[in-house]
Chains A and B, each alone.
Chain A
Amino acid sequence: METYTYVNIFETKGLEYLLLISFLVLFVLLVRYLGGPQSKR
């Protein structure tokens, strides 16, 4: 019988990959936010 083993992302590099992807997404959002029109004061 085959068993399915869940991968603990704390024990692998999985969490770091997730973090990297999150960073890339957030970085794009930050650049878009900064590149948007500035409000006039």
Chain B
Amino acid sequence: MTATKTLTKQTQQVSETRRILRFLISEMWPKGPLLTPFNIISIPTIMLGIGILAVRFIYGLGSVTNLNQHYPWGLWIGFDVVTGVAFAGGAYVITFAVYVMGLEKYHPIVRATVLNGLLAYVFYAGALVLDLGRPWNVINPIIGNSFGYNSVLFLVSWHFMLYMLTELLEFSPAIAEWLDLKRARKILNGLTLGAVIFGVTLSSLHQSGLGALFLMAKPKIHPLWYTEFIPVLFLASSIYSGLSMVIVEGTISHRVFSNQLDPKKHHQFDEMLLGLGKGAAVAMFVYYFFKVLVFVHDRQWNLLYSGWGAWYLFEVVGCVLVPCMMYAYAYRTRRVGLLRIAAVWALLGILLNRLNISIIAFNWYLPVRYYPSWQEYVVTATVVFTEIWVFRWIVLRMPVLREAHELPQAAKVTVRVTA
């Protein structure tokens, strides 16, 4: 009797595995038109980028980048890693707001935000490998080959790895729903709150940890940008950076994937954007105060009377205070268009801040400057385009923007066929 039961169970498991495999194969086919403007631009760029990366891994960094002993970190670190991780801050902010603070209003955007964060970490933080002179050593922090307990990069690498797994766990109920695995979905849903709390803890530490990487470069960074509070500033700015990214990415997603959404939710979405803008305005104001306080604390008045001073004021006043006021005004007057402009402006401000610290104001006294090569730009575009391709592939298949019950019944149909 027991042997029969075991055999039946094994048969069911084999049948289930076959069902999932068939479903996965059926989902591999492209959905939607192939000849879109985005595809026409992105496919050649990605192919060229892959070719450049092949040259980079065969002949080394010097063959495709303008990096040198004075500028060991360039565009791939400054944009992909340092800026990309700040842009991905929306995931920890939104999950904290929804699951910990109970702001259910933002629940419909949680999955898209978490997916965006997960992919940003996989691709942008993954781009760290491209910039390693000996990329095979990337495994060292994990396998314990010379653990660098005193190294900030050791902390950052572990945090990146753990946070990617945490975000995968936060997103996994959507995968279970897609595969129609009800029991797995129930278990994974139960783990969400724990994953969120762990994820927020990790995020607050590695967002500031990325800033801490630059503490060791005190003599190299212009005094207007160097401060011992860089980690605090990185963490504070990641909050509004993440919120701004959610506004921009959400706006684009709602236009591109409008067929995925219930029309009744379009109005709710504008309300959500306004709420996010309000949060971003408060976060930017606090960040602006931190910047002013650090500036006054370090007594840097005389440094303002130079080109660097003007550039600094442009970043702090023009790209923090101005979008902050735009956010506040847009919220009060319910101008969603203005809110979107403020979000893009705030993101440009974050980009400028991260590039200033990592590239522009780095080694500012040297006569020879670093300018990224065209190959570096192409590889950066490749990373961004590939992330968008994966994001689109997932959104078109899994319940990210739509509810689980609105899913096409492909999985269930396959069950019937298999049966």
* Chain A interface residues (CB < 8 Å from chain B): 10, 15-16, 19-20, 23, 26-27, 30-31, 33-34, 36, 38-41
Contact = CB atoms under 8 A, between A and B. Distances in A.
Interface in B292-316: 292-293, 296-297, 299
Main secondary structure of the interface of A (DSSP, over half): helix
18 contacts: A15-B296, A16-B293, A16-B297, A20-B293, A23-B293, A27-B286, A30-B282, A33-B328, A34-B328, A34-B331, A34-B332, A38-B274, A38-B331, A38-B334, A39-B334, A41-B333, A41-B334, A41-B335
Given A30-B328, A38-B331, A39-B332, A16 B296 contact: yes
A27 B293 contact: no
A10 B278 CA distance: 34
Contact of B281 (A26, A34, A36, A41): A34
**In which size bucket is the chain B interface?**
10 to 19
B147 interface: no
B285 interface: yes
Contacts of A31: 282
Contact of B332 (A20, A23, A26, A38): A38
Contacts of A39: 332-334
Nearest to A35: B278
- The listed residue with most B CB atoms (<10 A of its CB), out of A15, A33, A34, is A34
Contact of B285 (A15, A27, A40): A27
Contacts of A15: 296
A36 B332 contact: yes
B289 interface: yes
Contacts of A16: 293, 296-297
Given A10-B299, A27-B285, A33 B332 contact: yes
B316 to A, nearest CB: 14
A40 to B, nearest CB: 7
Contacts, number: 42
Contacts of B289: 19, 23, 27
Interface of B: 274, 278, 281-282, 285-286, 289, 292-293, 296-297, 299, 328, 331-335
Given A19-B292, A19-B296, A30 B281 contact: yes
- The listed residue with most A CB atoms (<10 A of its CB), out of B289, B292, B331, B333, is B289
Nearest to B332: A38
Nearest to B293: A19
Contacts of B332: 33-34, 36, 38-39
A30 B333 CA distance: 14
Given A20-B293, A30-B285, A38-B274, 8 more contacts: A23-B293, A27-B285, A27-B286, A34-B278, A34-B282, A34-B328, A34-B332, A38-B333
Contacts of B297: 16
A41 B292 CA distance: 35
Contacts of B285: 26-27, 30
A26 B292 CA distance: 14
A4 B6 CA distance: 95
Nearest to A40: B334
A15 B298 CA distance: 12
A20 B286 CA distance: 11
A15 B292 CA distance: 11
Contacts of A41: 333-335
A41 to B, nearest CB: 5
Contacts of A36: 332
Contacts of B328: 30, 33-34
A4 to B, nearest CB: 25
Nearest to A38: B334
B304 to A, nearest CB: 14
A23 B389 CA distance: 44
A3 B330 CA distance: 54
